[in-house]
Amino acid sequence: MDLESIASAIRICKLCSLHKNRNNTVPGSGNSRSEVMLIGEAPGANEDKQGLPFVGEAGKFLDALLGTIGLKREDVFITNAVKCRPLNNRDPIEKEVQICTRAYLLDQIKLIQPKLIVTLGRHAMKIFFPQIRAISDVRGKAYKKGQQVYLILFHPAVALYQQRMKTVLQDDFKKIPTILKQIDLLKESK
């Protein structure tokens, strides 16, 4: 199995009711050998039209955030917890997230083998840390679970509605290079 096989399966997926209203699925895009994998929540209207993750206003801000640490969209792999747009941009329900995670996301992670998974928003966070109640309590912190390292961040869209959150996200994104270096140092010391 490879990423294109997963994307092909996503394109014809009917495992939940989200397929009924989609224009396009949004399997993910970017560097399949990336050290960093960004996982958002669900596609929005622009993503549903184009079949690509983070191409709307939140995506423009995500591109700018990546630029602050010397990365481009092509340097990372970007996907969502849910691969189809929920109707009227509602939050994905837990069952939808679970179905997409089991059917697709875990395989994407296994194939890419990122050093760092950056969760963008509470729905992505809840996949890996269901016990955490509020993202505001843990955002900007790295966690190791098994052999995988995670960085929990707010979703970039939050900065579109609350200007003060731009600085918070910029500061949190600046932690990514340091975390990657720490992961390398831990591997070297073993």
Q: Which residues contact 29 (CB under 8 A, 6 or more apart)?
A: 52, 53, 73, 77, 78, 79
Q: Is the pLDDT of residue 46 over 90?
A: yes
- pLDDT tens-digit readout, 148-173: 999 999 999 999 999 999 999 999 99
Are 90 and 19 in contact, with CB atoms under 8 Å apart? no
Contacts of range 98-106, beta carbons closer than 8 Å, 24 or more positions apart = 99/15, 99/16, 100/15, 100/16, 101/127, 103/9, 103/13, 103/15, 104/6, 104/9, 104/10, 104/13, 104/27, 105/39, 105/79, 105/81
Are 22 and 48 in contact, with CB atoms under 8 Å apart? yes
Locate the domains of the chain by residue range.
Answer: 3-188
- pLDDT tens-digit readout, 64-78: 999 999 999 999 999
In this prediction the pTM is 0.95
* CATH H-level superfamily of 3-188: Uracil-DNA glycosylase-like domain (3.40.470.10)
Token pair belonging to 7? 């994307």
